[in-house]
């Protein structure tokens, strides 16, 4: 095989004038490939410097193609020329080895960068196929036995509902326990105070400590000093029929107890200065006050015998429990269910008139006491 001559190496020549004869036309002499080959070039136009000629022996292809003169080539002739050069190039073993090496290196680099992506795609496709197969199995199971699926769903919902119900019950118990603690603390903070109701505004504005000292000494027989009373004031709304209560806070629980245990002396026959319509009560919390109201309703409905308060607690005496007739109540959750199941006693019997008459001519009344067991 003959050696390849570079494509840009042709026989030299020179450019001739445009007015020359056809024999003087520039030619391209390509050697080294299947013998010499000459291609006549037809000049299209002159350059600014005039016509020039190409040497018949050698012409540089790059200079010809990049010259200022624009030559028109026949498309078929140029195509044939390129084909002949490519055929000669690919017939060279060294050239093929170089091309193969370059292409192989490029392919290897490309494969190395693409292989991890292909592996990742294969894993994702595999996972997707597995998920589809699981869904298909579940769908077939639902189609084969829809009733069992409904039962399973209902069972799951019931389990969730029972769990939520249990959690709510636990939270309710926790909240109830917190409320009991708060109620106990609030009630304990009121142990040193009492409420006095029925005192008109014309008598005192409710913040006169000396009035409380005089009131205790005159109507209760309890001697107090200025240091025994912490503070006092009216609380609540004033109405035409009922003035607001006076809240008195004593410095110690002992002073408060001395006044509170004498409260019944206000309307005693032994009192030289009774005060009808004036009452001294404990300073109960809102919940304990509501609980005491329920207890008094129980007395009125004859479910319990009597009810009173002691140190913020509600005390009741039962009709039917001889072993433990006295009960102490602190919370609605304890008293309300208990009163709900108690039987109601019949109303008290009305007095029965007899035919006997007294010495003063009045009709005698048969003695009838409260119904007890």
Does pLDDT of 365 surpass 80? no
Average pLDDT in the chain: 75
Do 233 and 290 lie in one domain? The reply is no
pTM: 0.50
Summarize pLDDT for 274-321 with one digit per residue, the tens. 888 899 999 999 999 999 999 999 999 888 889 999 989 999 998 877
Number of domains the chain contains:
3
Same domain, 293 and 367: yes
Q: Which has the closest alpha carbon to 259: 292, 286, 232, 235?
A: 232
Residues 314 and 248 in one domain: no
Q: Do 183 and 287 contact (CB within 8 A), yes or no?
A: yes
Angle at 49 between CA 43 and CA 54, to 5 degrees: 45
In this structure, is residue 309 part of a structural domain? yes
Q: Show which of 65, 90, 115 is a domain's final residue.
A: 90
- Do 265 and 323 have their domain in common? no
Domain span including residue 335: 285-373
Does the residue 77 lie in any domain? Answer: yes
CB 329 within 8 A of CB 318: no
Q: How confident is the model at residue 59 (pLDDT cuts 50, 70, 90)?
A: very low
What's the confidence (pLDDT) of residue 362?
39
Residue listed under structure tokens 């429990």: 321
CB count in 10 Å sphere of residue 309: 18
Q: Is residue 47 part of a domain?
A: yes
Pairing of strands 193-197, 353-357: unpaired
Provide the token pair at 17.
């004038």
Domain end point (choices 249, 283, 317): 283
Residues 206 and 279 in one domain: yes
Q: Does a structural domain hold residue 61?
A: yes
Single out the residue in 40, 72, 90 at which a domain terminates. Answer: 90
Q: Grade residue 226 by pLDDT with cuts at 50, 70 and 90.
A: very high
The continuous run of DSSP H or E covering 37 comes out as strand 37-40
Look at residue 333 and tell me if it is in a domain: yes
129 belongs to a structural domain: no
Is 144 contained in some domain?
A: no
pLDDT tens per residue across span 75-96: 778 888 888 878 877 777 888 8
Whether 313 and 272 share a structural domain = no
Beta strands in 214-285 (DSSP E): 229-235, 245-250, 279-282
Task: State mean pLDDT over 166-188.
Answer: 92
């Amino acid at each position: 095989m003959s050696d390849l001559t570079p494509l840009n190496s042709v026989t030299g020549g020179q450019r001739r004038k445009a007015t020359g004869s056809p024999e003087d036309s520039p030619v391209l002499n390509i050697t080294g490939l299947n013998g010499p080959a000459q291609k006549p070039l037809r000049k299209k136009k002159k350059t600014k410097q005039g016509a020039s000629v190409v040497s018949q022996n050698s012409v540089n292809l790059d200079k010809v193609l990049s010259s200022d003169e624009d030559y028109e080539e026949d498309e078929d002739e140029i195509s044939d020329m390129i084909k002949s050069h490519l055929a000669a190039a690919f017939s060279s073993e060294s050239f093929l080895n170089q091309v193969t090496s370059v292409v192989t290196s490029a392919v290897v680099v490309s494969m190395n960068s693409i292989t991890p992506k292909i592996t990742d795609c294969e894993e994702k496709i595999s996972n997707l196929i597995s998920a589809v197969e699981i869904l298909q199995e579940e769908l077939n199971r639902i189609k084969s036995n829809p009733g069992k699926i409904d039962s399973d769903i209902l069972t799951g919902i019931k389990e969730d509902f029972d769990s939520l119900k249990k959690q709510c019950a636990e939270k309710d118990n926790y909240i109830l326990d917190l409320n009991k603690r708060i109620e106990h603390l609030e009630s304990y903070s009121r142990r040193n105070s009492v409420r006095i109701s029925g005192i008109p505004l014309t008598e005192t504005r409710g913040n006169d400590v000396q009035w409380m000292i005089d009131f205790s000494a005159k109507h209760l027989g309890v001697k107090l000093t200025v240091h025994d009373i912490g503070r006092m004031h009216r609380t609540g709304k004033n109405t035409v029929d009922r003035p607001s209560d006076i809240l008195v806070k004593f410095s110690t629980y002992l002073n408060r107890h001395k006044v509170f245990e004498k409260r019944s002396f206000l309307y005693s026959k032994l009192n030289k200065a009774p005060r009808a319509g004036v009452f001294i009560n404990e300073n109960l919390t809102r919940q304990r006050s509501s609980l005491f109201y329920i207890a008094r309703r129980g007395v009125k409905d004859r479910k319990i015998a009597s009810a009173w308060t002691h140190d913020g607690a509600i005390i009741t005496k039962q009709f039917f429990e001889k072993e433990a007739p006295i009960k102490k109540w602190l919370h609605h959750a304890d008293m309300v269910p208990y009163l709900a199941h108690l039987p109601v006693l019949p109303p008290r019997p009305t007095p029965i008139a007899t035919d006997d008459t007294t010495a003063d001519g009045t009709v005698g009344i048969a003695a009838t006491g409260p119904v007890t067991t």
